[in-house]
Structure 1
Amino acid sequence: MAAPALGAQEAAAAAHMLSLPAEAFGNDPNVEMVWAVKAYQHAQVYFNLISSVDPKFLKLTKADDQIYSDFRKRFSDLKIDVLDSEDMKSGPAKEKWRPFCLQFDGVVEDFNYGTLLRLDCSRGYTEENTVFATRIQFFAIEIARNREGYNSVVYDSAKEANLGTEVVSSG
């Protein structure tokens, strides 16, 4: 799933398109493609970040403490290391997520924008390991994964791979 790189002109056009109201587009496939590229680029940046910096020390938003606290109050039993997509997509799950998400309107920029979320936090973004989520759902789950140490497996694996590369290149 390699995303094409956007040049300066394409990025400016994409930003302009994304700033228009949804009603202006109907079901325009160009908008869907721009969204998909942007979501995939966000996913790549995030995965690279948790591969390079110990996730326990990351701060994703200004409201991390509030997001984490409210998330764990409402979803104390949610298994976050390997998500079940039904915990995000089923009717009862959507009813539980809706009030959680809406409380961050005006607190977290673009809280309801679509983003990609890994189901199994020990693996990367692949078609089988990715689910569509709102940005606030992404933040809630990834902040919890970072604070609770679940994303450390990505960081540790990347660190080990880099050490192996350094040994090979220096030997």
Structure 2
Amino acid sequence: MASNDGLAALGVEGASAAAHALSLPAEAYGNDPRLEAMWAMKATKHAEVYFNLISSVDPKFLKLTELDEQIYSSFREAFKDLDVKQLKEDDLKSAQAKERWRPFCNQFEGLVEDFNYGTLLRLSSEEDYTEQNTIFATRVQFFAIEIARNREGSNEGVYKLKPSKS
């Protein structure tokens, strides 16, 4: 993933103000474009850090949350046949999919911090974050899918393609 200054460009005071603003309830803002820009920067930074992590550490050894086992078990119970290696937008965004995802996600309210925050998710586990390979998902959807990818070996390709370090 191409790196840019993102939050670092804001400086310490700007980043602190952004963090405070992002902690306020959504009702406080309406459709403020500045807030949308801050969310986009935060989501992009999260995606960059995560991709660097799975590129550097064998994903099968990663633990993303304290609730990985519960999230994974519940996810595979609810979505037995979902192909996490190659997602389609309809797997998360169709009306039928939203009806299936809603109870799954809501069970983690109060358990997973910021469970419904917007997060970037790769459609294909074998590719980096690009405009064509990225979809917006909730944080708990991201965790469920990425935990499954890590445990089921779908992220191994990213790790194995990393440049070798001599």
Please report the TM-score for the alignment, with normalisation by the length of structure 2: 0.94
Aligned to 2:142: 138
2:9 maps to 1:5: no
Aligned to 1:59: 63
Q: Percent identity?
A: 64
Please report the TM-score for the alignment, with normalisation by the length of structure 1: 0.92
Per-residue displacement from partner, 1:112-171 (whole Å, max 9, x unpaired)? Answer: 00000000010000111000000000000000000000001000000xx225xx3xxxxx
- Letter of the aligned partner of 2:99 in structure 1? E
SS at match of 2:35: helix
Aligned to 1:86: 90
Q: How well do the aligned residues superpose, as a CA RMSD in angstroms?
A: 1.1
Looking at structure 2, the residues matched to 139 and 148 of structure 1 have their Cα atoms a distance apart, in angstroms, of: 14
Aligned to 1:162: 164
Among candidates 68, 73, 88, match of residue 69 of structure 1: 73
Q: Which has the larger radius of gyration?
A: 1
- State the Cα distance separating 1:20 from its structure 2 match: 1.3
- Letter of the aligned partner of 2:119 in structure 1? T
Contact 1:3–1:40, Cα closer than 8 Å, also in 2: no
Looking at structure 1, the residues matched to 118 and 37 of structure 2 have their Cα atoms a distance apart, in angstroms, of: 13
Looking at structure 2, the residues matched to 87 and 139 of structure 1 have their Cα atoms a distance apart, in angstroms, of: 15
- Letter of the aligned partner of 1:85 in structure 2? E
| Structure 1 range deviating more: 98-107 or 18-27 | 18-27
Q: How does 1:110-129 map to 2 (within 5 A)?
A: 110-129=114-133
Aligned to 1:30: 34
- State the Cα distance separating 1:5 from its structure 2 match: 2.9
| Structure 1 range deviating more: 19-28 or 1-10 | 1-10
Structure 1 unpaired stretches of 5+: 167-171
Looking at structure 1, the residues matched to 6 and 156 of structure 2 have their Cα atoms a distance apart, in angstroms, of: 29
Looking at structure 2, the residues matched to 23 and 105 of structure 1 have their Cα atoms a distance apart, in angstroms, of: 19
Aligned residues: 162
- State the Cα distance separating 1:30 from its structure 2 match: 0.3
